[in-house]
Amino acid sequence: MRHSLLALALLASLTACHKAEETPATPATETAAAGASQADAAFADLSRRALDGWFQLGPVGATQTGDHRYDTELDDLSAEGRQKGLDFSRTILAELEAMDVSKLSRENQVDAAILRNQLKYDIWGTETLQSWAWDPQLYNSLAGSALYGLMAREFAPMPERLESATARMEKIPGLLAQARANLDPARVPKIHAETVARQNAGILSIVETFITPNLGQLPNPERERAEKAIAGLKTAVAEHQQWLDKTLVPNAKGDFRIGAELYDQKLQFALLSSLSRAEIKQRAEAELVRVRSEMYDIARKVLAGKPGAPELPDNPSHEQQQKAIQAALELAYAERPARDKVVPDAQAALARATEFVRAKDLVTLPDAPVEIIEMPEFQRGVAVAYCDSPGPLDKNLKTFYAVSPIPADWTQEQVDSFLREYNSRMIDLLSIHEGTPGHYLEGWHSAKFPSTLRAVLRSGMFAEGWAVYTEKMMADAGYLDNDPLFRLVQLKFYLRTIANAILDQGVHVDGWTREQAMDLMVNQAFQQEREAAGKWVRAQLTSAQLPTYFVGVQEHFDTRKAVEQKLGADFNLKAYHDQVLSYGAPPVRFVRELMLDQPIE
């Protein structure tokens, strides 16, 4: 049986009180403890009301989180709905600002900082960024997720989920109508309009895959209602497609670059990092130089004595370094999956990485299931793979490691370019990053932290940084028998993380052209044309998300170094990993402060 949010909040408060009782009390400490207990109880109540409000205002997100009270509802993106969201955020923020957070427990001080940031982010997003007026992806993603979140996981019997899906299918035409009313073609970037025009029909593929085959499980009145809802949805999607093709795409005149001012504001909200845009760029450019040098050292070893090898001097020119690294990478590119074997090979790589972690005892392994799936059609076109963990309130359900299949309409040249990038060793790295010990494992650990608020607001920077951190950690531990080509590909994968951070601000702040972006990715970071072309699209479609990988891993590296220095010979890698993952994935800066007993800034 699922706990209510109130019960979870009370449980957290009782746990905190129980821990306080373990220390012998004096009159002074009793007074302080009483104050802290009152403050923590007040914050628990505020957190509960914040979550309840978010779930009611955002039913699709509530379903994904595991709160199923609003499974028949959809988010309201009308002017009235947006105003309700603003009023709610301002009310909760005012109450939070009136609290003396210094009286909270250290864990609640972290949650208060995260909550404050999210409330301000929500207000800024609605009033200043205004994605609702220019980003059609918002509506497309919401419509697809509304059904996928209900049908992909077995959190309730199929007939119950089908009835909720029916109610949402009846409401999705209204959501699409809101999109047409809200979006201003003059502000919509062409790339956003074209992408959504391609993805729109994917909503129906969810119906065909998950809903239609199961309609026989419904009694007749409910089945007739579902069939009518499906027919209405098909009509609405066709109407919306016509609007996308005939109105939005031809008239989309917006700039996909959000500019320096908005970028800096969004970056701070999205990352909640101690690093500024300038510091991120400085670190990334320095790492680009350092990693290329390390790759050259490996290239010299694997190419030594091979016929036709390029020059390998001790102090190479940029051109000599470039040729040597490319020649060494060609050895890795030669081993790659067949066109139709990318998903099965990813599954085998996940099993291999899991067994390695177990054998080396690197971190506690999950006991919850994970399944590799083909990426749903409505989510394709942005990333090659992703990890979809169950919501924090849904227990013991599958994690999905989704891999996008190669598009059927790609030419052989495009396929070859893709498979050179996603060669066999890169598939191993992808399964480490998305699966074990990356996102899947991290999501399982993080879900055990008792704060529902932190689970709902888990940091993407923590998660992405951890996934990149594990790539290096596995290579350092000798994965694939210390294969130098695996290390070379791992460093190339890390170059992608570095390039992401440089690319994002290059595009949105510095006005980079496609040629500048492709030069960074293809020539400096050794990406294949297909991967780089896809990332150029992603950089136009998103902002302040691509740097999460680099900033997150830098803060993870910094945290591990600081803990190693503090513990010295007592440092234990598995204990460190388990502790880092025990905090519920807040921004990494808070993990460091908690682990090192520093003030919560």
The per-residue pLDDT of the chain, averaged, comes to 91
Among 23-32, 139-148, 188-197, 212-221, the least confident range: 23-32
Predicted pLDDT of residue 6 = 28
At 520-558, the pLDDT tens digits run: 999 999 998 888 998 999 999 999 999 999 999 999 999
Mean pLDDT of 447-475: 95
How does residue 597 score in pLDDT terms, banded at 50, 70 and 90? very high
Predicted pLDDT of residue 215 = 98
* Domain boundary pick from 251, 272, 297: 251
125 and 28 in a common domain: yes
534 and 547 in a common domain: yes
201 and 350 in a common domain: no
At 288-324, the pLDDT tens digits run: 999 999 999 999 999 999 999 999 999 999 999 999 9
235 and 115 in a common domain: no
How does residue 396 score in pLDDT terms, banded at 50, 70 and 90? confident
How does residue 381 score in pLDDT terms, banded at 50, 70 and 90? low
At 278-289, the pLDDT tens digits run: 999 999 999 999
Bigger pLDDT: 412 or 329?
329
156 and 115 in a common domain: no
557 and 439 in a common domain: yes
Q: Is a pLDDT exceeding 90 seen at residue 369?
A: no
286 occurs within a structural domain: no
* Domain boundary pick from 189, 218, 251: 251
How does residue 383 score in pLDDT terms, banded at 50, 70 and 90? low
453 and 420 in a common domain: yes
Give the position of tokens 């299949």.
Answer: 405
At 129-184, the pLDDT tens digits run: 999 999 999 999 999 999 999 998 899 999 999 999 999 999 999 999 999 999 99
Helices (H) and strands (E) in the chain, counts: 28, 3
* Domain boundary pick from 201, 217, 251: 251
CB atoms under 10 Å from CB of 246, counted, come to 10
Q: Which among 376-385, 407-416, 497-506 has the top mean pLDDT?
A: 497-506
Q: Are 446 and 456 in contact (CB under 8 A)?
A: no
360 occurs within a structural domain: yes
Long-range contacts formed by 238-246: CB under 8 A, 24+ apart: 239/176, 240/176, 240/179, 240/180, 240/200, 241/197, 241/200, 241/201, 243/180, 244/136, 244/193, 244/196, 244/197, 244/200, 245/197
274 occurs within a structural domain: no
Structure tokens at 535: 């990332």
163 and 39 in a common domain: no
Predicted pLDDT of residue 379 = 64
Domain enclosing residue 165, as ranges: 134-251
Mean pLDDT of 40-65: 96
Among 16-25, 467-476, 558-567, the least confident range: 16-25
Q: Are 169 and 223 in contact (CB under 8 A)?
A: no
81 and 148 in a common domain: no
153 and 117 in a common domain: no
Torsion angle defined by CA atoms of residues 463, 467, 469 and 470, in that order, rounded to the nearest 10 degrees: 140
Predicted pLDDT of residue 546 = 95
Structure tokens at 489: 């590909």
457 and 571 in a common domain: yes
At 75-130, the pLDDT tens digits run: 999 999 999 999 999 999 999 999 999 999 999 999 999 999 999 999 999 999 99
41 occurs within a structural domain: yes
How does residue 413 score in pLDDT terms, banded at 50, 70 and 90? confident
140 and 87 in a common domain: no
Total count of domains within the chain: 3
